[in-house]
Amino acid sequence: MKSIFVAAAMLVAAPVALAQVAVSDAWIRGTVAHQTATGAFMQLVAERDGRLVEANSPAAAQVEIHEMRMENDVMRMRRIDALPLPAGKQVVLQPGGFHLMLTGLKAPLREGDKVPLSLVFQADGQAPQTVRLDVPVRALHGKGGLGHGR
Which H or E run includes 4?
helix 2-11
Binding mask 4-43 for Cu ion (x = CB under 5 A): ----------------------------------------
* Binding range to Cu ion, per CB under 5 A, among 5-13, 19-27, 63-71, 105-113: 63-71
Residue 136 exposure: Cα atoms within 13 Å on the Cβ side: 7
Nearest Cα to Cα of residue 28 among 81, 97, 95, 104: 95
Q: Is residue 77 involved in binding Cu ion (CB under 5 A)?
A: yes
Q: Which of 66, 85, 123, 135 binds Cu ion (CB under 5 A)?
A: 66
CB-based burial label for 50 (10 Å; 0-12, 13-18, 19+): buried
Q: Total binding residues for Cu ion by CB under 5 A?
A: 3
Q: Which residues bind Cu ion (CB under 5 A)?
A: 66, 77, 101
